Protein backbone atom coordinates (compact mmCIF):
# COMPACT_ATOMS: atom_id res chain seq x y z
CA UNK A 1 0.00 0.00 0.00
CA UNK A 2 1.10 3.47 -0.78
CA UNK A 3 0.44 6.59 1.25
CA UNK A 4 -1.30 9.65 -0.09
CA UNK A 5 -0.54 13.23 0.92
CA UNK A 6 -3.22 13.16 3.65
CA UNK A 7 -1.57 10.21 5.38
CA UNK A 8 -4.20 7.63 4.30
CA UNK A 9 -3.40 4.34 2.62
CA UNK A 10 -3.90 3.93 -1.12
CA UNK A 11 -4.94 0.69 -2.82
CA UNK A 12 -2.25 -0.88 -4.93
CA UNK A 13 -2.87 -0.12 -8.59
CA UNK A 14 -5.34 2.66 -7.97
CA UNK A 15 -5.18 5.87 -9.95
CA UNK A 16 -6.11 9.42 -9.13
CA UNK A 17 -9.08 9.29 -11.54
CA UNK A 18 -10.13 5.90 -10.22
CA UNK A 19 -10.04 7.11 -6.61
CA UNK A 20 -12.03 10.23 -7.57
CA UNK A 21 -14.68 8.05 -9.21
CA UNK A 22 -14.72 5.58 -6.32
CA UNK A 23 -15.34 8.36 -3.79
CA UNK A 24 -18.31 9.63 -5.82
CA UNK A 25 -19.62 6.51 -7.54
CA UNK A 26 -22.88 6.15 -5.59
CA UNK A 27 -23.75 9.80 -6.15
CA UNK A 28 -22.86 9.60 -9.85
CA UNK A 29 -24.88 6.38 -10.32
CA UNK A 30 -27.90 7.90 -8.55
CA UNK A 31 -27.84 11.01 -10.76
CA UNK A 32 -27.51 8.91 -13.91
CA UNK A 33 -30.43 6.72 -12.82
CA UNK A 34 -32.58 9.76 -12.03
CA UNK A 35 -31.78 11.35 -15.39
CA UNK A 36 -32.51 8.10 -17.20
CA UNK A 37 -35.79 7.73 -15.32
CA UNK A 38 -36.82 11.20 -16.51
CA UNK A 39 -35.80 10.39 -20.07
CA UNK A 40 -37.88 7.21 -20.03
CA UNK A 41 -40.82 9.11 -18.53
CA UNK A 42 -40.68 11.85 -21.18
CA UNK A 43 -39.70 9.76 -24.23
CA UNK A 44 -42.39 7.44 -25.54
CA UNK A 45 -39.86 5.59 -27.71
CA UNK A 46 -37.80 4.35 -24.75
CA UNK A 47 -39.60 1.55 -22.93
CA UNK A 48 -39.00 -0.28 -19.69
CA UNK A 49 -37.68 -3.18 -21.76
CA UNK A 50 -34.97 -0.95 -23.23
CA UNK A 51 -33.84 -0.02 -19.73
CA UNK A 52 -33.89 -3.67 -18.61
CA UNK A 53 -31.81 -4.80 -21.62
CA UNK A 54 -29.28 -2.01 -21.02
CA UNK A 55 -29.08 -3.05 -17.34
CA UNK A 56 -28.37 -6.66 -18.38
CA UNK A 57 -25.61 -5.48 -20.73
CA UNK A 58 -24.20 -3.23 -17.99
CA UNK A 59 -24.08 -6.11 -15.52
CA UNK A 60 -22.34 -8.36 -18.04
CA UNK A 61 -19.83 -5.60 -18.79
CA UNK A 62 -19.17 -5.09 -15.07
CA UNK A 63 -18.76 -8.85 -14.54
CA UNK A 64 -16.34 -9.12 -17.46
CA UNK A 65 -14.29 -6.13 -16.35
CA UNK A 66 -14.36 -6.47 -12.56
CA UNK A 67 -10.88 -8.04 -12.47
CA UNK A 68 -9.41 -5.48 -14.88
CA UNK A 69 -6.01 -4.06 -14.02
CA UNK A 70 -7.42 -0.56 -14.65
CA UNK A 71 -8.84 0.90 -11.46
CA UNK A 72 -10.62 3.62 -13.45
CA UNK A 73 -12.27 1.07 -15.76
CA UNK A 74 -13.50 -0.95 -12.78
CA UNK A 75 -15.07 2.17 -11.27
CA UNK A 76 -16.69 3.22 -14.57
CA UNK A 77 -18.16 -0.27 -15.04
CA UNK A 78 -19.43 -0.29 -11.45
CA UNK A 79 -21.11 3.09 -11.97
CA UNK A 80 -22.59 1.91 -15.28
CA UNK A 81 -24.03 -1.28 -13.76
CA UNK A 82 -25.31 0.40 -10.57
CA UNK A 83 -26.96 3.26 -12.44
CA UNK A 84 -28.68 0.91 -14.86
CA UNK A 85 -29.93 -1.36 -12.08
CA UNK A 86 -31.27 1.68 -10.19
CA UNK A 87 -32.96 2.94 -13.38
CA UNK A 88 -34.52 -0.50 -13.81
CA UNK A 89 -35.91 -0.33 -10.28
CA UNK A 90 -37.34 3.15 -11.00
CA UNK A 91 -38.96 2.05 -14.25
CA UNK A 92 -40.51 -1.07 -12.74
CA UNK A 93 -41.69 0.88 -9.69
CA UNK A 94 -43.34 3.46 -11.97
CA UNK A 95 -45.01 0.65 -13.94
CA UNK A 96 -46.34 -0.96 -10.72
CA UNK A 97 -47.58 2.39 -9.39
CA UNK A 98 -49.28 3.15 -12.70
CA UNK A 99 -51.20 -0.10 -12.52
CA UNK A 100 -52.04 0.51 -8.86
CA UNK A 101 -53.55 3.87 -9.82
CA UNK A 102 -55.46 2.32 -12.74
CA UNK A 103 -56.78 -0.42 -10.42
CA UNK A 104 -57.87 2.17 -7.87
CA UNK A 105 -59.72 4.16 -10.53
CA UNK A 106 -61.49 1.03 -11.78
CA UNK A 107 -62.53 0.10 -8.23
CA UNK A 108 -63.87 3.61 -7.62
CA UNK A 109 -65.73 3.60 -10.95
CA UNK A 110 -67.32 0.22 -10.26
CA UNK A 111 -68.24 1.33 -6.74
CA UNK A 112 -69.77 4.54 -8.09
CA UNK A 113 -71.75 2.65 -10.72
CA UNK A 114 -73.05 0.17 -8.14
CA UNK A 115 -74.08 3.07 -5.89
CA UNK A 116 -75.90 4.81 -8.76
CA UNK A 117 -77.70 1.64 -9.84
CA UNK A 118 -78.82 0.82 -6.29
CA UNK A 119 -80.19 4.29 -5.63
CA UNK A 120 -84.03 4.20 -5.48
CA UNK A 121 -85.54 7.42 -6.75
The tens-digit pLDDT sequence of the chain (121 residues) is: 444 544 455 566 688 998 999 999 999 999 999 999 888 888 877 788 899 999 999 999 999 999 999 999 999 999 999 999 999 999 999 889 999 999 999 999 999 999 999 987 6
Say if 40 falls within a structural domain.
yes
Is 14 strand, coil or helix?
Answer: coil
Position 50 in a domain: yes
Structural domain contains residue 113 = no
**Beta-carbon count within 10 A of 55 CB:** 21
Q: How many domains does the chain have?
A: 1
Determine, yes or no, domain membership for 101. no
pTM of the model: 0.75
> What does the pLDDT read at residue 1?
44
Domain that holds residue 42: 2-92
Rounded to an integer, what distance in angstroms lies between the CA atom of residue 85 and that of residue 60?
A: 12
Do the domain assignments include residue 97? no
**What is the sign of the dihedral through the CA atoms of 36, 41, 47 and 52?**
positive
Calculate the alpha carbon distances from 44 to 11, 55, 58, 59 in Å: 44, 19, 22, 25
The alpha-helical segments, DSSP class H, found in the chain are: 16-42, 48-65, 71-118
**Residue 52 is assigned to a structural domain of this protein:** yes
Q: Would you say residue 59 lies in a domain? A: yes
Residue 114 placed within a domain: no
State the pLDDT at residue 15: 86
Amino acid sequence: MLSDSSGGALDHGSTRHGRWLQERRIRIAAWIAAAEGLIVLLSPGITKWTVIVIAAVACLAWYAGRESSSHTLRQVLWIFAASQLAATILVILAWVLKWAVVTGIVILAVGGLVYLLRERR
